[in-house]
Amino acid sequence: MIRIERAAVPDSVNITRLFEALIAEITERTGAPTPLFSLSGTAEKCKSYLETGIYTVWMATDRLSGRAVGFLSLCESHALYADGAFGIIQEFYVEPEYRSRGVGARLLAAAQAYGKTCGWKRLEVVTPPLPFFQRTVLFYERNGFEKTGGAKLKAVLL
């Protein structure tokens, strides 16, 4: 049995472990020679984000083992095109042995319910690189998301 609940500051250790697993999986599946993101200071950043409230995380925990097996993190943003405030799913990961068991769908449902309480009109997400994560896109589509086109781009500032 899986329990879904909002993470608290002490959960930052488990969130960090799951985030590192997410980055390792993306790196491995895409064949990237080095990790795509710096993991330096991740635990401290996670703890700080939770403490300040700029980061909301939903955790999936196996009730039998007490082990955190998945998480979904959200941040609020604002845009004219979104007609105000909206949520962005920043990271989302479920351990492989818990996939296709409804854990991800329950995490998404928790995020959507939370977004409604915040008055958000939408949730947005960017998937890991395609075609390596095509199943991820299909998962989101099965859960009510639609493609909006475009590609994620970035400019490093520091």
Q: How many residues does the chain have?
A: 158
Alpha carbons 86 and 46: distance in angstroms, whole number:
21
Would residue 24 count as lying in a domain? yes
Would residue 157 count as lying in a domain? no
Would residue 55 count as lying in a domain? yes
Share of the chain above pLDDT 70, in %: 99
What CATH number is given to the structural domain containing 66? 3.40.630.30
Give the global pTM: 0.92
pLDDT tens digit sequence for 62-75: 999 999 999 999 99
Instruction: Give the pLDDT of residue 36.
Output: 66
Instruction: Give the pLDDT of residue 35.
Output: 66
pLDDT-wise least confident of 27-41, 59-73, 98-112: 27-41
Structure tokens at 145: 């998301």
The parent domain of residue 79 ranges over 2-142
Would residue 154 count as lying in a domain? no
Alpha carbons 97 and 151: distance in angstroms, whole number:
30
